[in-house]
Amino acid sequence: MPRPVCRRSICLCPRESVSYARMGRDIVRFRCHSCGHCCTDVVCLPTPWDVIRIVKNTGESPYEFLEFLGPDEISEVDDSDSTWLECGGHRYLMALKRGPHGCFFLDKGTRFCAIYEHRPILCRLYPFKLQETRDGKFKGFTLHSDVGCPRHRDGEVVTKPLFTLYRQDCGNQRDYDDLVRVFNRREYPGKQPSDFIGMFIEVK
């Protein structure tokens, strides 16, 4: 059965003149109660920048903690998504590896993220959802309504840091798209989706 994905919001990349005050709201009512949903039931699609940061701070090999999923293994990703890697007539998405008990980095003893300070931006934004105006302009954040997270509302999360992360992810996404385009143009015998890793990181 396809696994739900921690989806990247469409990066509108608003002009620099867009101010925090125009976002529409300054808090989201939410408190994490460590239910584990995001680490066990949702697939995270990191950017190369996320992978570089994890490798740099943990020493883990990306060939150990990444996997490449086909369309039949993942849900809610559009066919037109710019990060589909093309190999031998098939398509793949780069994801944090998951096992029977959840994410590769989910500590088996504590059941908490073992790389919390270095986790991907998408993990930092989840379960917050980008809000847009009717004409597609950035408005603010709310909580995803279609995920398994209980969405406890007994706390307050300031949206300004979320906006900063969102803008950072927009820049990272542009770099990611460029790398994927180059990778997809390359044709050679034995091409594998994991070859993509070598385009942005060197493993000694």
104 φψ region: left (φ > 0), alpha (ψ -120 to 50), beta (else): alpha
Confidence (pLDDT) at 12: 41
Confidence (pLDDT) at 5: 58
- Reported as a pLDDT band with limits 50, 70 and 90, residue 204 is low
Q: Distance between CA 170 and CA 163 in Å, rounded?
A: 11
On the question of pLDDT at 192 being above 90, the answer is: yes
Tell me: the pLDDT tens digits for 87-123?
999 999 999 999 888 999 999 889 899 999 999 999 9
Confidence (pLDDT) at 24: 43
Q: Distance between CA 80 and CA 89 in Å, rounded?
A: 16
Across the range 123-128, mean pLDDT stands at 92
Tell me: the pLDDT tens digits for 131-144?
877 876 778 888 88
On the question of pLDDT at 13 being above 90, the answer is: no
On the question of pLDDT at 15 being above 50, the answer is: no
Q: Distance between CA 191 and CA 87 in Å, rounded?
A: 6
- Reported as a pLDDT band with limits 50, 70 and 90, residue 148 is confident
Across the range 44-71, mean pLDDT stands at 96
**Averaged confidence pLDDT in the chain:** 85
Q: What angle do CA 51, 56, 60 make, to 5 degrees?
A: 70
On the question of pLDDT at 124 being above 80, the answer is: yes
In the sheet with 85-87, reading across from the earlier edge strand, the strands are 66-69, 90-96, 85-87
Confidence (pLDDT) at 19: 44
Tell me: the pLDDT tens digits for 60-92?
999 999 999 999 998 888 999 999 999 999 999
Confidence (pLDDT) at 178: 96
The residue behind tokens 């060197």 is 202
